[in-house]
Amino acid sequence: MGQPGDQGRAVVAPVSAPAALPHCDHLETEIRGPVALFRISRPGKLNALTAAFWPQLRLLLDAAAAEPGIRSIVLTGSGDRSFSTGGDIEGFAELDGAAERRDFLDGCLRTFTAIEECRLPVIAAVNGWALGGGCELALACDIVLAAEHAAFGLPEASVGLVPGFGILRAPAVVGRQAAKLMVLAGERLSAQRAYELGLVQQVLPAAELVPAALKLGRRIAERAPLAVEVGKRMVNRGVDRGETGYGVEAVAMLYATRDAAEGIAAFAERRAPRFEGR
């Protein structure tokens, strides 16, 4: 018996053109077929992240997820030097008092969680430095592609801080000891080293980075949308956390969908499936 996919590439069901996504400062958006491209746009500041960036990214994630024509998201930075060098430290210093700083940090962490919990897969196309919050954005994304000259780091300890999200997520991605090296010693990972540790899934020449990420986004769009959504959720929950009961219910739910019936029928009939997201 063959494997799923032996009968050819799936056909994405026709959908209405998505509405324009909300305008956000320092975040440019494009719709490329079923893929939403988000580009962090502060090239003069190496794409450092302002306080406004975090709620705006959450807004864009929600808007993209609400559009039936969008099936995946690519997040990258403008220019060829930096994906993002993280939070604007000067702006952070202007926060007034502990309560305001706590609210700001809570907003940052909610944005990382929003990436992980977004029903759409989010692909990071890391086009240069990914430092601090920029590295944390990559850690939160589902798949990471990196340009050959990209570098990843968590340098917050050099200014008396720690990466609130990265310090929790990096051990699961790159391993506990490598995470300590990054957090405690400010060690930067080259794209190749990040690939070896599992943070990056593919290293590419810079000119091929975004096209490859968009191609991957389109490939994901060919899969059954509900299966992709549930698959992402299940991987993020992890069976090692005792979530097997959830897994049973989730897969049972998928078996009851039209897309599952269509996918099974198409496999048996040796044809490409036509998924509808139902």
* Composition of the chain by helix, strand, coil, percent to 5: 50, 20, 35
Angle at 128 (CA atoms; ends 126, 133), nearest 5 degrees = 70
Which among 149, 131, 123 has a CA at the least distance from the CA of 205? 149
Is there a catalytic annotation at residue 136? yes
State the catalytic residue, choosing from 30, 67, 116, 156: 156
Q: How far apart are CA 77 and CA 41, in angstroms?
A: 6
Q: How far apart are CA 225 and CA 118, in angstroms?
A: 13
Is there a catalytic annotation at residue 90? no
Q: How does strand 143-147 pair with strand 202-204?
A: parallel
* Length reported for the chain: 278
Strand, coil or helix: what is 76? strand
Which among 253, 192, 228, 267 has a CA at the least distance from the CA of 73? 228
| Tokens at 269, concatenated | 């009939």
State the catalytic residue, choosing from 67, 136, 229, 262: 136
Strand, coil or helix: what is 19? coil
Catalytic residue list: 136, 156
